[in-house]
Amino acid sequence: MTKGPSKPDAANGREARLKAALRANLARRKAQGRARAAQEDSPEHEQRGQASGPEGHAPENEE
């Protein structure tokens, strides 16, 4: 007795692994985006990214 090809089971298993990997990747990217957004809102990021005055704000042009 020979076994038939197990291709459908292998394809289903592969699809399940790919779905799980995509789901994990999406969750990781969302977490990274949230972390970046939170970091951009922090005062330290503003001071590093721009020239700032003594109060930590960008200097204004006075005319």
Q: What pTM was estimated for this model as a whole? A: 0.50
For residue 30, tell me if it sits in a domain: yes
For residue 24, tell me if it sits in a domain: yes
- pLDDT the model gives residue 20: 98
For residue 38, tell me if it sits in a domain: yes
Which residues constitute the domain of residue 21? 11-42
For residue 33, tell me if it sits in a domain: yes
| Alpha carbons 41 and 47: distance in angstroms, whole number | 11
Tens of each residue's pLDDT in the chain, 63 residues: 456 556 778 889 999 999 999 999 999 999 999 999 999 887 765 555 555 555 555 556 654
- pLDDT the model gives residue 8: 77
Structural domain count, the chain:
1
For residue 49, tell me if it sits in a domain: no
Report the b/e string of 39-60 with b at 16+ CB within 10 A.
eeeeeeeeeeeeeeeeeeeeee
Instruction: Note whether 35 and 42 are within 8 A (CB).
Output: no
For residue 61, tell me if it sits in a domain: no
Reduced to 3 states (helix: H, G, I; strand: E, B; else coil), residue 50 is: coil
